[in-house]
Each structure stands twice: as C-alpha cells, then as structure tokens.
C-alpha cells in the first residue's frame, strides 16, 4: 500500500514546529523535524509577532524534513497552519524588487492579537454595524481581536492608511505567499476575520463596503485541498535542491486540530486545548440564534464545509503566563509537572474558582497579581502558595470548560456524553480529570499532536494517498493512537 510523506508547518502562540508525517491507509507516523519558540515582541507601539523569524525557522525546519524524508521517497507536499485572526499588510512600495511576489512588500511587523489597541476598533465597527446584526451575518463569537476590529484599529476603514494598503494576508496565507509567490485566503482561517458570510462562506462584500473596507483587501478564498503552488526558485537551495508543492490545509490551527480529533460520534464534543481551550462540536449546519450569540458561541468554517461550533475559553495561557511571571521573579525555570503534583495535594475545600473569562487575563503580564486582584474584588481568599494558585487555575479552567460543554449541548441540542481533549492540555492529567469531574462526562485525552495530524491528513488526501470523509481520516487516528480515558468521580 502506498505511503507518502508530508511536512506540516504548525505555528502556535508559544512555539512553532515542522512535523514530518508518513501517511498511508494503515500508516500515521509523525517525527518532529524542528521546534522553535514563539511569543509576543514588546515594541514601543505594541505587541508584535516576529514573523520574519518564524519564516526563517519554518524554512530551516522544512530543510530538515526534506533531509529526513530523503531515503524514503522524499516529501510530496507542505501544509501550513497557525493561530487565527492576525494578518500582515502589504503595499506596493517604491523600490520594491519587481520579482517580489505580486510586487508587494510587507508593511511592518504584524500585530499580536493580545495587543490592547483593538478597543477603539470594536467601537468603530459596532457604530457602523451593531453586534447583533454582525453576528447574524458572520456567525462569529465576540472576541475583541477578531480581524475586522483590528483592521478598524489600524484605521483601515477610511483615511490615508487605507489608500496605502494593497492587500491583507492572514499569517498562514502570508507564509504561503512567501514560500510560493501565490496569494489565496484559505477558507477556514478566512472565516475568523468576521468578514465572511456564514451562509455563503464567501467574502461579505456588502459588509465590507459598509465598514469602508476595500473589496479586494483579501485575496480569493480557496478551500483546504487546493494546491497553492510550488516553492519559489530562490528557496530551492534551502530545500535540498527541490521545489515543493504547498497544499492548503485547514490553515486555522483549530480547524486542523478538529480534523485530527478522533470524534467517536456526532454527539462527541471536543476541547482543543493549548493556549486557548476551544470547546464545542462539529456541525453540518451553523447555529446562529439569539441564544448562541448570548452564550458567545462561534460558527467558524471547518474543513469540508463543516462548522466548528465552539467558544474560546482561556486555556493553558493562564498557567504558562503564571510560570513566566515566577521565572522573571526568581530567575529560575519553573517545572510545571512538579507544580501540578503539588497542586493535586491541595485540599479540595481550599480550592478557589475564578472566572477565567475575565478580560483582565488576556494581555501578557503578572498573572498571580491579577488573580489576587480578582479574588480581593470577589471576596474570595487569594491562593496563598504556588501549588494553591496552580490548582486554582487548573480547576477554574476546567470549570470554564464544563460550562462551555453544557452550553454547546444546549445550544446545538445534542447529548454530549463524551469529550475529546486534544493538544498540549491533553497531557495535563489534573486538568483532564477536573474537566471530567466538573462536566460529569468522560474525557478521552489525545492525541496531543492533533493539529499536525489534521494538517498532514488533508495533505495526504489531496495527494490521493487517503480518501473519503473526515470520519474515514479519523479512523486512521483511532487505529494508530491510544487515548487515555478520565471518568467523572463525582
């Protein structure tokens, strides 16, 4: 039976990786070719991403993957995914090298979605189109950093900035353009901009016009499974002397993660848990009701035209940002597994539950101090030790997950008796058990690398190595990965 090899470039908010996959009808093997750190860059004018650095790391990682794949028939294609909503702006600048793709150059480092500049953008957008109407059009939960609010904050709705900008490309599309010279808007990630109509799944040109955005700001939408192009000639020396085809996958990392989740029944829910916990269901139809709007549930575009009906719950960000604060304070690396072990010993009666959705926890900064402030304001005792704070955060995240699971079941009228936990959070046993306990549902944990798997599976299907529906692709995960089940204890 044929086996093909594919490289997945998967960029997360705290790290990126290039994963080499060997995929066949009975084969799903992953090896990490490269891993590199990522994070916000604190510039005087706000939080940015070091996208040039990420491109460099991705290219080096692809070179490593090419080498590792050499003896076994080489790499058939490359796919890229990353976090959503953020974008680079491109302009036709004087002195642009005419061989630059489309003659366009990047205007500055892309903003990080945790940058606080968007509040004014939210107001500007809602003045033109009230949120309830926006929701009916785009089906998206309110997140202050959705692309349309960021564009408004960049004063791209009107004014001189708008005239200077030729095109906006979401992060994976920008990297794809740097690799191939071709520009498309991959469909799943495009759906997170707030500018795609939930019914037509195409750019909502009327909405864009009402917001004062140029209708050609983003390129044409293309579905996962489309071949974007081949890597540019100039990159050949970095890629073992070859030009590699780049295939569009679910380029929103969460879309790929859901492809890579072995959902056992249509009633099974998922929690894709990394920096964020994305909690919800895969649906054939969008749910755009007053109740879903009030519960802040989103209808993001999934692979194969499905909908990701979910809500963003603050995930392991709260833990990692807490550890970073302690690292800055003590100058010493903090070990999460050791802290989690100690956290487990904290008596149940002493556990404080905070509201993880409080907006104060969104920007980077001193998380222990913010938790303390939250507790003081809510007449709750402040966790007094590191283990107590870690336990508070884990249980509070689990409480957020449990509430979102109940909402998903109610809003989509599903039973939801099992929850698949995938991504980095699936390795956190304390979190998985707390989620089972607090939701009263079985939590089936794994695979940890669901996003890379989803990316690779769509590439393999595009190459003809695999065929069928998402359910058929997920069969392969069920056969090759053994999950850990956590049963509710109360």
User: Least distance to ligand LFR from the beta carbon of 124, Å?
Assistant: 21
Report the 10 Å Cβ neighbour count for 284.
10
With beta carbons less than 8 A apart as the criterion, state whether 422 and 448 touch: yes
Q: How far is the C-alpha of 277 from the C-alpha of 409, rounded, in Å? A: 17
Task: Specify the stretch interacting with ligand LFR by CB under 6 A; choose among 23-31, 62-70, 180-188, 268-276.
Answer: 268-276
Beta carbon nearer to ligand LFR, 254 or 396: 254
Task: Specify the stretch interacting with ligand LFR by CB under 6 A; choose among 56-64, 82-90, 154-162, 480-488.
Answer: 82-90
Residue from 87, 135, 270, 276 in contact with ligand LFR (CB under 6 A): 276
With beta carbons less than 8 A apart as the criterion, state whether 8 and 21 touch: yes
- Give the residues across from 277 on adjacent strands: 273, 313
Q: How far is CA 176 from the centre of its chain?
A: 17
User: Least distance to ligand LFR from the beta carbon of 241, Å?
Assistant: 34
314-326 b/e (C-beta count within 10 Å ≥ 16 → b): bbbbbbbbbbbbb
Beta carbon nearer to ligand LFR, 49 or 83: 83
User: Least distance to ligand LFR from the beta carbon of 252, Å?
Assistant: 6
Q: Does 85 bind ligand LFR (CB under 6 A)?
A: yes
Binding mask 173-212 for ligand LFR (x = CB under 6 A): ----------------------------------------
Strand, helix or coil at 246?
A: strand
With beta carbons less than 8 A apart as the criterion, state whether 64 and 34 touch: yes
Residue from 167, 180, 292, 312 in contact with ligand LFR (CB under 6 A): 312
Residue from 87, 111, 113, 297 in contact with ligand LFR (CB under 6 A): 113
Beta carbon nearer to ligand LFR, 229 or 274: 274
DSSP helix, strand, coil percent of the chain (3-state; round to 5)? 45, 20, 35
Q: How far apart are the first and last CA of the chain?
A: 47
With beta carbons less than 8 A apart as the criterion, state whether 9 and 79 touch: yes
Binding mask 14-53 for ligand LFR (x = CB under 6 A): ----------------------------------------
Tokens 């996003």 sit on residue: 451
Q: How far is the C-alpha of 459 from the C-alpha of 1, rounded, in Å? A: 17
Q: Does 278 bind ligand LFR (CB under 6 A)?
A: yes
Q: Tell me which residue of 364, 377, 257 sits closest to 314, measured CA to CA.
A: 364
Residue from 20, 62, 84, 271 in contact with ligand LFR (CB under 6 A): 84
Widest distance between CA atoms in the chain: 67
Residue from 9, 58, 83, 474 in contact with ligand LFR (CB under 6 A): 83
Q: Does 401 bind ligand LFR (CB under 6 A)?
A: no
Tokens 């509040």 sit on residue: 119
Beta carbon nearer to ligand LFR, 271 or 354: 271
Task: Specify the stretch interacting with ligand LFR by CB under 6 A; choose among 251-259, 280-288, 317-325, 463-471.
Answer: 251-259
**Bond before 447 cis per omega within 30 degrees:** yes
Q: Does 149 bind ligand LFR (CB under 6 A)?
A: no
Residues involved in catalysis: 253
Task: Specify the stretch interacting with ligand LFR by CB under 6 A; choose among 56-64, 80-88, 118-126, 427-435.
Answer: 80-88
Q: How far is the C-alpha of 402 from the C-alpha of 414, rounded, in Å? A: 15
Residue by residue, DSSP assigns 316-375 as: THHHHHHHHHHHHHHSS---HHHHHHHHHTS-GGG-----TT-GGGSSSS-HHHHHHHHH
Q: Tell me which residue of 330, 434, 347, 355 sits closest to 387, measured CA to CA.
A: 347
What number of CA atoms fall less than 13 Å from residue 380's CA on the CB side?
Answer: 19
Residue from 254, 256, 320, 439 in contact with ligand LFR (CB under 6 A): 254
For residue 443, give the H/E element and its range: strand 442-445
Q: Does 253 bind ligand LFR (CB under 6 A)?
A: yes
Q: Does 259 bind ligand LFR (CB under 6 A)?
A: no
Task: Specify the stretch interacting with ligand LFR by CB under 6 A; choose among 129-137, 269-277, 370-378, 397-405.
Answer: 269-277
User: Least distance to ligand LFR from the beta carbon of 294, Å?
Assistant: 19
Beta carbon nearer to ligand LFR, 63 or 400: 400
- Contact positions vs ligand LFR (CB under 6 A): 13, 83-85, 113, 252-254, 274-276, 278, 312
């Amino acid at each position: 039976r044929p086996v093909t090899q594919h490289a997945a470039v998967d960029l997360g908010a705290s790290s990126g990786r290039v994963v080499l996959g060997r995929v066949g009808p009975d084969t799903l093997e992953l090896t990490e070719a490269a891993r590199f750190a990522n994070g916000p860059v604190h510039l005087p004018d706000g939080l940015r991403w070091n996208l040039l650095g990420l491109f460099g790391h991705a290219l080096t990682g692809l070179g490593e993957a090419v080498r590792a794949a050499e003896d076994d028939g080489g790499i058939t294609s490359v796919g890229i995914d990353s976090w959503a909503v953020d974008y680079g702006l491109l302009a036709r600048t004087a002195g642009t090298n005419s061989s630059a793709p489309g003659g366009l150059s990047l205007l500055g480092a892309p903003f990080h979605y945790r940058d606080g500049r968007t509040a004014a953008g939210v107001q500007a957008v809602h003045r033109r189109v009230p949120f309830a109407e926006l929701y009916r059009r785009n089906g998206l939960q309110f997140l202050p950093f959705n692309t349309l609010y960021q564009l408004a904050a960049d004063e791209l709705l009107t004014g001189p900035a708008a005239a200077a900008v030729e095109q906006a490309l979401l992060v994976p599309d920008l990297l794809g353009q740097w690799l191939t010279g071709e520009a498309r808007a991959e469909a799943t990630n495009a759906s997170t901009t707030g500018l795609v109509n939930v019914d037509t799944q195409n750019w909502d040109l009327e909405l864009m016009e009402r917001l004062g955005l140029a209708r050609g700001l983003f390129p044409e939408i293309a579905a996962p499974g489309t071949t974007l192009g081949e890597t540019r000639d100039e990159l050949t020396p970095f890629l073992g002397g070859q030009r590699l085809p780049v295939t569009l996958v679910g380029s929103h990392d969460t879309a790929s993660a859901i492809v890579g989740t072995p959902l056992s029944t249509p009633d099974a829910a998922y929690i894709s848990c990394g920096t964020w916990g994305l909690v919800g269901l895969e649906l054939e139809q969008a749910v755009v009701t007053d109740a879903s709007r009030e519960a802040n549930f989103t209808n993001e575009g999934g692979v194969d035209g499905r909908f990701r009906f979910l809500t963003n719950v603050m995930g392991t960000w709260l833990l990692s940002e807490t550890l970073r604060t302690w690292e800055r304070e003590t100058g010493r690396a903090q070990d999460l597994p050791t802290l989690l072990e100690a956290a487990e010993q904290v008596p149940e009666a002493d556990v404080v539950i905070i509201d993880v959705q409080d907006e104060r926890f969104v920007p980077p900064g001193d998380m222990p101090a913010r938790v303390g402030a939250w507790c003081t304001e809510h007449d709750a005792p402040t966790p007094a030790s590191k283990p107590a704070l870690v336990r508070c955060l884990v249980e509070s995240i689990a409480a957020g997950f449990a509430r979102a699971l109940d909402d998903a079941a109610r809003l989509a009228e599903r039973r939801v008796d099992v929850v698949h936990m995938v991504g980095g959070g699936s390795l956190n046993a304390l979190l998985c058990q707390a989620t089972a306990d607090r939701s009263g549902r079985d939590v089936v944990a794994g695979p940890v690398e669901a996003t890379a798997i989803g990316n690779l599976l769509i590439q393999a299907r595009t190459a003809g190595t695999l065929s069928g529906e998402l359910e058929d692709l997920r069969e392969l995960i069920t056969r090759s990965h053994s999950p850990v089940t956590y049963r509710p204890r109360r």
